[in-house]
Amino acid sequence: MKDYFSEDEVIITVTRLTRNQLVRFMEFELVKPQQADVGFIFRPIDIARLELLCDLSQDLDLDESALGVVISLLDQLHTARNELAILSRAIESLPSDLRSSIQIALQTR
Amino acid sequence: MGNDPYEALGLSKKATAEDIKKAYRKLVRTSHPDLHPDDSGAESRFKAISAAYDILKDPETRARFDAGEIDNMGIEQPQRQYYRDFAGAPDNAYQQGRGFGSDADPADFFAEILRNRGRASGGDRFSEQGFVATGGHTRYTLVVPFMDAVRGAETYITLPDGQNIMVKIPQGTEDGQTLRLRGKGAPGYGGGAAGDALITISLRAHPVFRREGDDILMTLPITFDEAILGGKVTAPTIDGPVGLTIPQGVKADRVMRLRGRGVTRAGRKTSGDQLVALKIVVPSDIDDSLRDFLTEWRKSHNFDPRADLLKDAET
């Protein structure tokens, strides 16, 4: 998979997406491509996000404001998950006695 | 895949286009990998349902499938990467907030870890050992006659499983109020308690009475002579007819209050009032004596209720 996509390439790659729709998604900051001298540059994460936005807007009929709510909640969910992953890794790296005290503390809650 | 597309969407061959869309949407909600980042089975489920939907959403491809011209592979699904595959990357530009804020309670994160572990270890999270949860609430709407809600009543509803349950409509129930029947909702998981049935009451309109909170509103027609000379009339109330004295020279827009004749609510001491709006009615059949009298009356009087109105309109 390519690393970067131009606006035209995005329209071709995400087949369901029209240019108007893409502009609206950008207006509402649902997708935030990087700005470069040659125009906007989209990353694979933006492509995946646009596919998701198409699913939500076309299949579930969400309008931009509902999309904003759903996407914001999803972003918060992923942020929380990342923080958890960081926390889990931190706990994994602790000496085993510390880990087991954490385990016990968790289980007694 | 290998499944019938109708089967994949839980439909029969007779399904309408609307049914297909509805079923697909419902499955998107429950199976979209990005809406269920922790569900490892979501991707294959979503693939199957979107392949099925691709065949059935277009009447033409659906007809071709029904005629056996194309098989259930339909259109090959392009490889797709889901947003959740990227969302965990450390450089995800869409992350909101970074690190643990000062207001974050670390205990929440530990609790979440435990919950996540519980999910990851078993296949079916509901049959998993030790997982106990209350069943979901089920919602119903019940249309209730106006008077039943005012006086209180008992009625029966039939649940989807065929069970009949008695619903007690408390005296004074309002439109839009929700009654809760404990334990009549969906069964619990792993021995958990059943959810509740939530019944939203919708009041059927009454031809005579309207309701505003605990007050009953109605419009009472009176004759023009009753308005001028006053008199005793009978007004209906929710508890039966009562006598009402119309004062002499009553104003046409006067609302009379019958104290305590409104709705009595279970558990409340004071009742609402009945508000009677008077509506002056002129006889449809005007006889000669009345016409003669009013013609004479008009000649000798210059009563003009619009005098002030016209003056005010100019300022």
Residues A1 and B207: their CA atoms lie apart, in Å, by 69
Residues B185 and B176: their CA atoms lie apart, in Å, by 19
User: What value does the mean pLDDT of chain B take?
Assistant: 79
Specify the residue for token string 């000379």: B229
pLDDT by residue, tens only, chain A of 109 residues:
677 888 888 888 888 888 888 988 888 888 888 887 778 889 888 999 999 999 898 888 888 888 888 988 888 888 888 888 888 888 888 888 888 888 888 877 7
Superfamily of domain B1-88: DnaJ domain (1.10.287.110)
- Record: contact A1-B32, CB cut-off 8 A: no
| CA distances, B294 to each of B72, B240, B286, B289 (Å) | 86, 37, 11, 9
Please report the pLDDT score of residue B80 as a whole number. 73
Q: What is the pLDDT of residues B246-287, one digit of tens each?
A: 999 888 788 999 998 999 887 677 888 999 999 999 888 888
Please, which pLDDT band fits residue B114 given cuts at 50, 70 and 90? Answer: low
- Are B28 and A52 in contact by the 8 Å Cβ rule? The answer is no
Please, which pLDDT band fits residue B1 given cuts at 50, 70 and 90? Answer: very low
Of B83, B111, B114, the CB nearest to A49: B83
Please report the pLDDT score of residue B208 as a whole number. 93
Residue B59 φ/ψ, nearest 5 degrees: -55, -30
B183 pLDDT higher than 80: no
Three-class secondary structure of residue B243 per DSSP? strand
Residues B220 and B276: their CA atoms lie apart, in Å, by 6
Residue B267 φ/ψ, nearest 5 degrees: 80, 10
Residues B55-67, mean pLDDT to the nearest whole number: 84
3-state secondary structure B91-111: CCCCCCCCCCCCCCCHHHHHH
Q: For chain A, list the domains and their CATH numbers.
A: 7-107 (1.10.1660.10)
Name the burial class of residue B253, with classes exposed (0-12), middle (13-18) and buried (19+) by CB atoms within 10 angstroms of its CB: exposed
User: Best mutation site among B29, B110, B119 for testing chain A: the one with the most A CBs within 10 Å?
Assistant: B110
Superfamily of domain B138-203: Urease metallochaperone UreE, N-terminal domain (2.60.260.20)
Q: What is the dihedral of CA A73, A74, A80, A85, to 10 degrees?
A: 170
Please, which pLDDT band fits residue B127 given cuts at 50, 70 and 90? Answer: very low
Residues β-bridged to residue B169: B153
Please report the pLDDT score of residue B108 as a whole number. 58
- Per-domain residue ranges of chain B: 1-88, 138-203, 210-300
Please, which pLDDT band fits residue B3 given cuts at 50, 70 and 90? Answer: low
What six digits make up the tokens of B245?
A: 């004295």
C-beta neighbour count of B20 within 10 angstroms: 20
Residues A83 and A91: their CA atoms lie apart, in Å, by 12
Q: What is the pLDDT of residues B26-43, one digit of tens each?
A: 888 888 888 888 888 888
Q: Which residues of A touch B34 (CB under 8 A)?
A: 52, 55, 74
Q: Which of B265, B220, B225 is nearest to B242 (CA)?
A: B220
Residues B223 and B230: their CA atoms lie apart, in Å, by 10
| CA distances, B261 to each of A13, B34, B101, B175 (Å) | 70, 58, 58, 19
To the question of pTM greater than 0.80 for the whole model, the response is: no
Instruction: List residues of B whose CB lies inside 8 A of any A CB.
Output: 24-25, 28-29, 32, 34-35, 37, 80-90, 92-97, 99-100, 107, 109-114, 116
- Record: contact B94-A87, CB cut-off 8 A: no
Please determine whether the domains at B1-88 and B210-300 fall in the same fold group of CATH.
no
C-beta neighbour count of B116 within 10 angstroms: 15
Residues B286-313, mean pLDDT to the nearest whole number: 87
- Record: contact B113-A88, CB cut-off 8 A: yes
> What secondary structure does DSSP assign to A22-85, as a single string?
HHHHHHTTSS-PEEETTEEEB-HHHHHHHHHHHIIIIIS---HHHHHHHHHHHHHHHHHHHHHH
Please, which pLDDT band fits residue B130 given cuts at 50, 70 and 90? Answer: low
Which amino acid, one-letter code, is at B109? F
Higher per-residue confidence, A37 vs B116 = A37
Superfamily of domain B210-300: Urease metallochaperone UreE, N-terminal domain (2.60.260.20)
Higher per-residue confidence, B117 vs B273 = B273
C-beta neighbour count of B155 within 10 angstroms: 13
Please report the pLDDT score of residue B122 as a whole number. 40
B5 pLDDT higher than 90: no
Q: What is the pLDDT of residues B211-251, one digit of tens each?
A: 988 899 999 999 989 999 999 999 999 989 999 999 998 88
- Record: contact A75-B94, CB cut-off 8 A: yes
In eight-state DSSP terms, residue B57 is S
Radius of gyration of chain A (CA): 20
Give yes or no for A48 touching B (CB within 8 A): yes
Beta-strand ranges (E) seen in chain B are: 138-144, 153-158, 164-169, 178-181, 197-203, 210-212, 215-223, 231-235, 242-246, 255-258, 274-281
Q: What is the distance in angstroms between the Cα of B74 and the nearest Cα belonging to chain A?
A: 18
ipTM here = 0.74
B124 pLDDT higher than 50: no
Q: What is the dihedral of CA B43, B45, B47, B53, to 10 degrees?
A: -150
Q: Which residues of B touch A77 (CB under 8 A)?
A: 37
Q: Which residues of B touch A88 (CB under 8 A)?
A: 113
- Record: contact A87-B86, CB cut-off 8 A: no
Q: Which of B92, B107, B125 is nearest to A84 (CA)?
A: B107
Q: What is the pLDDT of residues B155-173, one digit of tens each?
A: 888 877 777 888 888 888 8
Give yes or no for A98 touching B (CB within 8 A): no
Q: What is the distance in angstroms between the Cα of B58 and the nearest Cα belonging to chain A?
A: 14
- Are B165 and B186 in contact by the 8 Å Cβ rule? The answer is no
Please report the pLDDT score of residue B221 as a whole number. 93
Please, which pLDDT band fits residue B307 given cuts at 50, 70 and 90? Answer: confident
Please report the pLDDT score of residue B129 as a whole number. 44
C-beta neighbour count of B165 within 10 angstroms: 13
Q: What is the pLDDT of residues B62-88, one digit of tens each?
A: 888 888 777 665 555 556 778 888 777
